[in-house]
Amino acid sequence: MRQALEGIKVLDLTRVLAGPYATMVMADLGADVIKIEAPGIGDDSRQFGPYVGDESAYFMSLNRNKRSITLNLKEEKAKEIFQEMVKKADVVVENYRPGTMEKLGLGYEELKKINPGIIYAACSGFGHSGPYSKRAAYDAVVQGMGGIMSITGEKGGRPTRVGPSIGDITAGLFSAIGILAALHYRNQTGIGQKVDVAMLDCQVAILENAIARYVVTGVVPKPAGNRHTSITPFEPFETADGEVMIAAGNDALWEKLCEALGKEEWIQDERFQTNPLRTKHVEELVPMIQEITRTKTTAEWLKILDQAGVPNGPINTIDKVIEDPQVLAREMIVEVEHPVAGKLKMAGTPIKMSETQGGVRAPAPLLGQHTEEILKELLGYSDEEIEDLKKENIF
């Protein structure tokens, strides 16, 4: 089976998370992602724990399916090699602080002279324009500035950081979308372009209804805990051994829930007949439901609520997630054999395609593992030339 992005060459100068996430998505879809790393050091995240032997599990999870070449881009000769590679490539991706590539003489304006069809994606904290452009950002900084923390957390509690680095990950996803849209345009016109994605911008783009709520009502949204602010019951309830999420999104589901709880009489209760009424009386209703949910285990409730057709689910910890039957059936946990680290489980691709299914084909590369292979294959270098470059510390 062919892959959707087979034949697309991506030169990947990214490090750590946002950029590598974007190129991982593309590599999972079949693109040939060539990771260009600094000799001896490589992607900073090669130093991030936890380790399997000497290999970073963090790095291995994000860099499967990619090849690695080292190049010391401070050397003129290495810059020339990079430029030769750009001539043969479709996409360049970098997540340096704005200005860094220009200082190296490898900014978009330079590269497009070499290859006008090149798609150049820059993923940065604040973007390539605006007053904060040159400032450094981390996920925690953009989660704070972008508003998501201010609407996450316990009701009445303080702003709370989202556990995974959502600032990086959403920037990676929007970068991949921008690159693919630019690729479509290039397929039609032959014209490449620069795609500039900022982590902060992406945080604004995922605020969902919070902006609308504020601009229409003037009320500043706050952390709202785990319940839905306008649908009831729609939150986790305590069970005999944990919690169960119950999401009764409309009146029909509420009736099914009453039956599942053995409280058919609540269907007629005037306080609970419509969703607005249930929301109004939430302080009374939640303890009434909880009194019942506490009498059985989470596993028992999942079964009862499933049979009743009421949307529900456990609050899974990671050990449970990676063993969940649906997660496994969808191949969302894959095991990859790494030549040094051995077997490692990681997330699969969530994009399931009927003609060109992507997935994990190869483990993450060792630092510079494919340098010679790529110099030969892409640029036609001889063993002798490669030997010379090695002596000059170009890679």
Segment contacting its own copies (CB under 8 A): 65-73, 74-82, 189-197, 255-263? Answer: 189-197
Binders in 212-231 for its own copies, by CB under 8 A: 212-217, 220-226, 228, 230
| CB closer to its own copies out of 250 and 382 | 250
Binders in 116-135 for its own copies, by CB under 8 A: 126-133, 135
Segment contacting its own copies (CB under 8 A): 73-81, 180-188, 256-264, 375-383? Answer: 180-188
Task: Find how far residue 52's CA is from the centre of its chain.
Answer: 23
Q: How far apart are CA 99 and CA 91, in angstroms?
A: 19
Q: How far apart are CA 268 and CA 256, in angstroms?
A: 13
Q: Does 17 bind its own copies (CB under 8 A)?
A: yes
Binders in 279-318 for its own copies, by CB under 8 A: 306, 309, 311-318
Q: Does 190 bind its own copies (CB under 8 A)?
A: no
Q: Which of 28, 168, 196, 201 is catalytic?
A: 168
Strand partners, 124: 198
Token pair, residue 56, equals 């970073």
| CB closer to its own copies out of 268 and 317 | 317
Are 263 and 292 in contact by the 8 Å Cβ rule? The answer is: yes
Out of 86, 149, 258, 378, name the contact with its own copies by CB under 8 A: 149
Q: What's the closest the beta carbon of residue 336 comes to its own copies, in angstroms?
A: 11
Beta-carbon contacts of residue 352 (< 8 Å; ≥ 6 apart): 330
Token pair, residue 38, equals 């600094």
Out of 33, 145, 257, 389, name the contact with its own copies by CB under 8 A: 145
Helix crossing, 76-88 with 371-379: angle to 10°?
Answer: 60
Q: How many residues in the shown chain lie near its own copies by CB under 8 A?
A: 149
Task: Tell me 369's DSSP state.
Answer: T
Give me the amino acid identity at 195. Answer: V
Out of 77, 104, 114, 177, name the contact with its own copies by CB under 8 A: 177
Q: How far apart are CA 329 and CA 348, in angstroms?
A: 11
Site map (CB under 8 A) of its own copies, residues 60-79, x = contact: xx------------------
Work out the number of other CB atoms within 10 angstroms of the CB of residue 361: 12
How open is the CA angle 362-364-368, to the nearest 5 degrees?
Answer: 115
CA-to-CA dists, residue 208 to 113, 174, 212, angstroms:
40, 15, 8
| CB closer to its own copies out of 69 and 310 | 310
Q: Is 269 a catalytic residue?
A: no
Binders in 19-48 for its own copies, by CB under 8 A: 25, 29, 48
Beta strands across the sheet bearing 312-314 = 234-238, 243-247, 312-314
Q: What's the closest the beta carbon of residue 310 comes to its own copies, in angstroms?
A: 9
| CB closer to its own copies out of 230 and 393 | 230
Among 348, 324, 317, CA closest to 335: 348
| CB closer to its own copies out of 213 and 370 | 213
| CB closer to its own copies out of 225 and 370 | 225
Q: Does 204 bind its own copies (CB under 8 A)?
A: yes
- Token pair 């630019």 is found at 182
Out of 163, 268, 270, 391, name the contact with its own copies by CB under 8 A: 163
Q: How far apart are CA 42 and CA 370, in angstroms?
A: 13
Q: What's the closest the beta carbon of residue 371 comes to its own copies, in angstroms?
A: 26
Binders in 338-367 for its own copies, by CB under 8 A: 344-356, 358
Token pair, residue 312, equals 């529900």
Give the active site residues.
168
